[in-house]
Every structure is written in structure tokens, then in C-alpha cells.
Amino acid sequence: MNKRILGKNGLEVSALGLGCMGLSYGYGPATDKLDAIKLIRRAFELGVTFFDTAEAYGPFLNEEVVGEALAPFRQQVVIATKFGFEKGLVGLGMNSKPEHIREYVDEALKRLRTDVIDLLYQHRVDPDVPIEDVAGTVKDLIEAGKVKHFGMSEAGAATIRKAHAVQPVAALQSEYSLWWRVPEKEIIPTLEELGIGFVPFSPLGKGFLTGAINENTTFDKTDFRNVVPRFSEDNRKANQTIVEVLGNIADSKGVTRAQIAIAWLLAQKPWIVPIPGTTKISRLEENMAAADVVLSTQELTNIESVIGDITVQGARYPQQMQDRVGK
């Protein structure tokens, strides 16, 4: 798989990474540990060198699985993880106090079976801790050799600028896809100006853009899509238009909807690295094959002319989660 560079300090990763969250958190019961390890190692076989986890995915369970899975080839991969919640529990609120960050890193290093974290993100901006203090703490951890690069997740442009002035930000992780294009307004221009990479999560619209979900789909009771307005039954029905359009485009290209959606992201900027996640090896192989799908200028224009006129129905987060992003 081709490589891409995140940030100005040479963080080289595969053009597609693997978002590991769903193996332990968010989309129903955790995947069997051995199956999760098998999937992560299959991703490595397919050329993936960029793996994304966080303290909150479990909590802590996902970091342990990722650490065990990648231990045999640790020096050949880039591990990204995230801090920022009290005791790793989203429901307890945010905690980016310097002492918490330092304690978290020491524990995460053990779970990840490594002596350094390649990319350390602040998971969400903490309104109670100045971002300069957060960036300064990560800078100290970089100088101590425990962290290599600093990242942010779902941060707003002004906060990114403040943090970047203290410690260069290598990457911003936020949602971006054919059905969530808000980052194009302010975030992407800011990242381009500052030389910061972009790591889009949910590049397949939390599974919706694959065509595998419709208004009749039933999610596991622990699946967080149950509380996402965009995934209400009415909105799933209303949003089928974009799935149908993607299907027509994919059929004409001889690929899948998922591959078109991922290839479109890769075509936007050379410093964009999507991290699709899955629990199924067949889907993993399908997603990673998107790295070889090249969209011509005319094809991108055609996609824009059709998709650009579709208004997606429903908010991407419930209000309490929406209040935590873009700050």
C-alpha cells in the first residue's frame, strides 16, 4: 500500500489506517479477542501500518488488544491512541489535566506493549483545561521519549491554532465522508495552512454508505447508533438516496460503494488518511482494496455534481455529544 505523510515532522503511515474502536466498543458486544487479533494482523498483511485506538474504547480493552496484536511487528507500524476522559469512561466527562495525561501515558504504554506512543491525540477538547497546558504536557512527553507526535480529535480551528503554536500538531482526527462534509468549510483549509494531516474516522458513514443498512435494520441494544439522530428509522429511509447514487457510481466503475467512498476521500488531499473500521475480514479486505481505486478528475466531478445536491437528514450526534465537538 502507498504511504502518506501526516504533519511536517515526517510521520509516515499507510494511505489507509485501521480504526480499531468497533472491535471493542460502540457497535455492540466486543469481538472475541482472538478474532480481533486475527483481523488486526490481517490488516498488517494487507499493507496497513497505521492503527487507531483509545483509552475510552472499552475502556482500555481496545488498547490491550491492539498492543497484543501488533507486538510481533511493533517496529513496522504506527500506533495512535487517545486520552481525555475521566477513568477512560465517556460518561464521567472529560479530563485533560496534565497529571491525568502523564498517568494515562504510563499506563497506556504497558497496555500497548511498547516504550513509545507514535501519535497521541487529545480525544476531545476539555473546556476546563487550557489547550496550551495540554499541548505543553504532550511536548514534555515527546521530549521525555514517551510520545513521538501530537494529535487532536474533533477540535475547532481556533483551538488547533493555539495548540499548534505550543507543540506542532501532526494530525487532526475528525469525521469526514461523503455524508459529512462540514470540515471542508474551515477545518481543511486550516490544516492545509498549518501543514497538519487529516485522519477521517467513519469514512463509510458508520456503515451507512456501504448499503448494508436501511430503515428496517435493527442494531444491538448497546450500539450507539441507536441514539444518533441520523440513524433514526425515518432518517435512514430518507438518506437512502445517497446510497442509491453511490451504488450507480460504483457499478459503473466495477467496484463497491465502500470503495468509492474511501477512494473519494483519498482523492481530496494527499495528506488525508482515512481509518475505516470493521469486525469482518471480508469487509477489511474490501475496504483496503479502495487504496488501489483511482478516480479521474472527470469521475470526481461527476460524483460532486450528483452527491453535492443531496441534503443528508439528521444530526450526526445527539446533542450531548455534539456539545463536545468543534470547540
**Cβ atoms 5, 197 nearer than 8 A:** yes
In DSSP terms, 50 is beta-bridged to 78
Helix (H) or strand (E) holding 67: helix 61-70
Q: Catalytic one among 27, 57, 121, 176? A: 57
Under DSSP, the state recorded for 312 is P
Distance, CA of 277 to CA of 21 (rounded, Å): 7
Active site residue 57: yes
Alpha helices, DSSP H only, in 167-312? 187-194, 233-238, 240-253, 257-268, 281-288, 297-307
Alpha-carbon distances of 61 from 10, 85, 120, 166, 290, rounded to whole Å:
30, 15, 17, 32, 29
Q: How far apart are CA 16 and CA 261, in angstroms?
A: 13
Q: Any idea which residues carry the catalytic annotation?
A: 57
